[in-house]
Every structure is written in structure tokens, then in C-alpha cells.
Structure 1
Amino acid sequence: MNITKKITRKAKLSYRDILLRTSIKEVIQPNFFIIGAQKSGTSSLFRYIKKYAANFVSPLKKEIHYYDYRFHKDFKWYLSHFPLKKRKKGSVITGEASPYYLFHPATPQRISKDYPNAKFLLLLRNPVDRAYSQYNFQKKNNIGLIEPLTFRKAINKEESRLEEEEEKLLASVNYRGKKHQYYSYLARGRYAEQLEKWYQYFDEDQFLIIQSESFFENTKQKLLQIFDWLELKRNNNEFDFNRINKTDYSKLDENLRLELESYFAPHNEELFNMIGREFSWEKSREAKDE
């Protein structure tokens, strides 16, 4: 190959190609992970961090999903999504936001081996609203799996749909587990069950848990709290909080809502006992319905 062809070929290399050929030591590795919950505001939070943090450098995309359904790829593939140290001056911070991490049973152990001292951000939404939002998003977009059922039929069938899914995910990195990811309307809202698995591998002070409704009601206050916890520095951009990925859909049937509130009540209580404080999900609902 002559010199001209070599130069042309090198010019055509993508940024990820360059990263894949780079030493791991030259990559800025993640300091934090936004792990969930799905349909609770993680996209908005990540966007605000990108827009308003002066010392944050973004990965190539928000959701990499390496530690859940792409763990069959190698570690260097994962790091190829993050920027190089030599391209950035001063002390910088990076992180990613894959909301399936919270729910995937193998993710806590996987991350603990690579990043035992990482910080984890969680936005937790009223599990009734979260479940119905996930259902409507799935119904509208048909991402991963088509949802042919009504919401009531889907949650009634959820237990049988998810049977043995967790065991299969733990047994093989090559098992995709689409039913576990897309048909888990109730299971994803049992937050205490999921947190308990994370607490087996990380200290509780490595987690910042924020009520999703509170985040959107007091965005500036909560974002500054997050910045302080992550040691992010505010830039000069004027705050402008526009929520993204918001889906419009019909109101949840009131009788079904009451059934689901009763279903989640003991799970919510377990969560509140675990984190040492309560979330005003009932008050948030009343305010929304007025």
C-alpha cells in the first residue's frame, strides 16, 4: 500500500475506530452511571448534565447497555464509546445512562468488577405511573417486542411471560432476554428488590436516589444537588429545562390504578425502609389529577 492510500485510509477511520486501537489507559473511564429507572426521566437528566456541566465529557451515546445485553462484547468495545484523555485538558468526568442496568440481574456484579468505586444515580417514579408509561411507550413504538395485549391483560400475564427469564440471563451473557426487558411493567417498579441486589456489591453511600416527580418539580435544585454529589462544575449556560421523551396517552382506568396502588404499597414501604425516607407518590398523583 502506498503512502497516499495509507493517508486516505487513516482519514476514513471513525472516532470509534481510533478508540478501539487505543490503549485502555488513554481513555477517560466512567465515574458514574445513571442506572434507572426506565421511563423516570433519565434522558432528561443526562441531557441536562451534558448541557450544564463544564467538566463533563460525554460518551458517544447516552445508552451503551454494555453491562446488560451487550456484555458478550469485550471491554475495549465498551471503552471505545468514551473520549481520549489527550483530547481533553484538566480534570474531567464522564458517565453513561443505561436505565436497564437497575433491573438486569447480572449488572451489579459485572460493574463491581470494573468500577467498584463508581457512583450511581437513580430517578424513581411512582411505580404505577412508570408501569403505564412503559406500556404505552412499548405499544406505540414496538421496540424490541410487539405488545399485542391491553395493559390489564399484559400485567396479568407478566408473571408467566417472565418465568425463568432471570435465571437465563444469569446463566449466559449471550441470552438477550427481550421478554425480561420489554414485558416487565410491574417487576421494574419493585424497586427494593432491585436495590437489594445492588447493595450486595456496593455501599449505600455510592447511590443518590431521587424521586422522579420531585426532580421535575424542582429541577434546578435537584440538578445542583446532583452536580455537587458528582463533583460537576456548572458552566455559564442559562438553565432551560425542557422534558424530553414525553409520551401522550389516555388516562389510566381509575379502578386499575387503585388495584396497582394496592399491589405496589408493600413494595414501596420496603423501599422507604431501605433508603430511610418516603416519597410522596400519593401527593404527586393528587396534584397531577387536579
Structure 2
Amino acid sequence: MNKKPDFLIIGAMKSATSTLHEQLALQSGIFMTDLKEPNFFSNDEIYQQGIAWYLSQFQDAQSKDICGESSTHYTKLPTYQHTIERISLHVPDVKFIYVMRHPIDRLISQYIHEWTQRIISININQAIYEYPELIAYSQYSFQLQPYFDTFGRDRVLPVFFERLLKYPQTELERIGKFIGYQSEIKWHDLSAVNVSTERMRKSEWRDFLVEAPILKQIRKSIIPQVVRDRIKSLWTMKEKPHLTPENIKHLQLIFDQDLKVLGEWLGVEINCQNYKQIVNDFSLNW
């Protein structure tokens, strides 16, 4: 009989959840699904594959392993409306890890991601008004409140992206304690480089030309590197998108209201201006 997950990394999107997933997968006695972002409880088309399909993702786990998976879609309200009721139905005793990042930084990173996926093609200063999910996914108390209502605060561990980068070993130990890991836990240097501002837009025909073995060899033999780099730049975001001062103020007003609630839960006063100082200086919990 396949095991069930003991914990879920539920987000937030673009907050180093993939890195945390990889770090936990490297620990002996912790099993993380090979499939990153199963999105079983959030996406209707995946949920329809059935609980047996989902549990098969844990079929290689050992009997004593602590099991987890990571799906940032689980904190994407209002996009996915049925996530929490499905989790409550199938894995009611599971624990949750929620990684937060400065809300504006996270929004910008999501915009870059959506640009590369050709979901968004307009300027970021227009996008924040036409794609409300950019803001919603950075409203952390809004995303967490339903989890608290259903499972209780003690089942959710708050983790902060900035603190995870600054104190990786300490934060990993804290996460290990939360999920009940008894062995020594160690942060590994994966030498990961964030190249989000250099990501290339999706293009099926370009990807075919680039990856086809014969064409790849011809391309490397005939076309000079400088020309290849120039062509590549046509699909590449040249620089990090910049919000106007007016839109930064607009976003700060929205996020400060949400952070006020988050701060009340954490016992600190937190807003967009002091966010990084607070999360770096204090190990915060409910």
C-alpha cells in the first residue's frame, strides 16, 4: 500500500520552493516526489486522475520515510477554489510549509515567469491591473486564512525566502523539526543560479530547431556564436522589469494591509518597507 504525504510545500510561487524540495529530497529518510508540482488537489484535470494516481507518486518511499511533495498551486486563490476541501478529504492530518517572499519581489518574479510562458505579453505596469493573480498570490494572509480555518495554525510552518537564503542550515533544521525528522539534516550546496531575467520565451518551432540533433550539429558548425547569441537575444528578456514609483506605492498600499494581518499572527509589525529587515532579524512563528 502506497504511503501518503506527511507534509506539503504549498507555496508561495517563485519563493525557492523548488530549492527547498531538492534539499529535502537529499536527506536520508525523507522522500520527495520525483514529480515536482503534482498539483493534484488544485487542478481539476489532475484531480480527476484519482487518489490512486496521486498516491502512486509515493510508491518508492520506504516504510519509515517522511513523505512530502511541493505544489505552489495549493496557495493560488482565487484561481483554484477546491484545493483545501480536497486536501482535508484525502490527507486530513498533513502538515504544511509555506514559503513567503517580499510581496513585490515575488510579483516581479512571477511576471517574468509568465512572460517566458507567453501567458503575459504586456508591460508589468499594465499587467498588475489586468492580471489580478500577480497581486493575489502575494497576499499571504489571504492565502493562509483558509488553511488556518480548516487545519489550524499549528499545522502550518511559516518560512521566509530571504531568511532561507541568509541562514539555510538553520532554517532547514527548523523545517526538519517541524516535519518530525529525527536524523541530522544538512543543507547542500547545489550551486543554483537564478537566471530568471535571462529566461527565454517559449517557442515550439525555435525549440525544435535548437534541440533537433542533426540541426544542432549543423547550427554549431556553420553559424558563428556571435550570430547565435544575437538570435537568442530576440527571445530573451533584456533586463529586469521596472515598476513605476506610482505603481510601487499602489502595490505597497495593497500589500501593507495584508502584511498587517500576517504581522498580527507573527507578533511583529511588518510592512513592505521593513519586511526584509524583520524576516532576516527574527525567526518568526505564529
* TM score, norm. by length of structure 1: 0.72
State the partner residue of 2:115: 139
Farther off after superposition, 103-112 or 225-234: 225-234
State the partner residue of 1:41: 16
Which letter does structure 1 place at the counterpart of 2:108? Y
Which letter does structure 2 place at the counterpart of 1:63? E
Q: What CA distance in whole angstroms lies between the structure 1 residues aligned with 2:160 and 2:175?
A: 13
1:251 and 1:139, CA in 2 relative to 1: closer, same or farther beyond 3 A? closer
Q: Please show how residues 70-81 of structure 1 align to structure 2 within 5 Å.
A: 70-81=46-57
> Any unmatched runs of 5+ in structure 1?
1-25, 160-183
- Please report how far the alpha carbon of residue 281 of structure 1 lies from its aligned counterpart in structure 2 after TM superposition: 5.2
State the partner residue of 2:175: 226
State the partner residue of 2:39: 65
1:157 and 1:238, CA in 2 relative to 1: closer, same or farther beyond 3 A? closer
Which letter does structure 1 place at the counterpart of 2:117? N
State the partner residue of 2:4: 29
Q: What CA distance in whole angstroms lies between the structure 2 residues aligned with 1:116 and 1:275?
A: 24
- Please report how far the alpha carbon of residue 113 of structure 1 lies from its aligned counterpart in structure 2 after TM superposition: 1.1
Q: What CA distance in whole angstroms lies between the structure 2 residues aligned with 1:118 and 1:236?
A: 21
Q: Please show how residues 1-290 of structure 1 align to structure 2 within 5 Å.
A: 26-51=1-26, 53-69=27-43, 70-84=46-60, 88=62, 91-103=64-76, 104-142=80-118, 146-159=119-132, 184-234=133-183, 239-243=188-192, 246-248=195-197, 249-250=239-240, 252-253=242-243, 255=245, 256-278=247-269, 282-283=273-274
| Contact in 1 for aligned 2:38/2:71 (Cα 8 Å) | yes
| Contact in 2 for aligned 1:58/1:83 (Cα 8 Å) | no
| Contact in 2 for aligned 1:54/1:232 (Cα 8 Å) | no
Q: SS at 1:258's partner residue?
A: helix
- Please report how far the alpha carbon of residue 102 of structure 1 lies from its aligned counterpart in structure 2 after TM superposition: 1.3
Which letter does structure 2 place at the counterpart of 1:42? T
1:176-210 alpha-carbon deviations (Å, 9 max, x no partner) = xxxxxxxx100111111111111121011001001
| Contact in 2 for aligned 1:59/1:83 (Cα 8 Å) | no
Tell which has more relative contact order, 1 or 2 (C-alpha 8 A, sep 6+).
1
RMSD: 2.4
Which letter does structure 2 place at the counterpart of 1:202? F
Q: SS at 2:196's partner residue?
A: coil
Which letter does structure 2 place at the counterpart of 1:133? S
1:2-22 alpha-carbon deviations (Å, 9 max, x no partner) = xxxxxxxxxxxxxxxxxxxxx
Which letter does structure 1 place at the counterpart of 2:123? T
- Please report how far the alpha carbon of residue 262 of structure 1 lies from its aligned counterpart in structure 2 after TM superposition: 2.5
| Contact in 2 for aligned 1:54/1:233 (Cα 8 Å) | no
> Any unmatched runs of 5+ in structure 2?
198-238, 278-286
Q: What CA distance in whole angstroms lies between the structure 1 residues aligned with 2:185 and 2:66?
A: 18
State the partner residue of 2:218: none
Which letter does structure 1 place at the counterpart of 2:141? A
Which letter does structure 2 place at the counterpart of 1:122? Y
1:38 and 1:102, CA in 2 relative to 1: closer, same or farther beyond 3 A? same
- Please report how far the alpha carbon of residue 139 of structure 1 lies from its aligned counterpart in structure 2 after TM superposition: 0.5
- Please report how far the alpha carbon of residue 252 of structure 1 lies from its aligned counterpart in structure 2 after TM superposition: 2.5
1:66-103 alpha-carbon deviations (Å, 9 max, x no partner) = 00112222110111111246xx3x62111100011012
Q: SS at 1:200's partner residue?
A: helix
1:271 and 1:30, CA in 2 relative to 1: closer, same or farther beyond 3 A? same
1:31-82 alpha-carbon deviations (Å, 9 max, x no partner) = 000000000110010011112x211123231211100112222110111111
| Contact in 1 for aligned 2:37/2:70 (Cα 8 Å) | yes
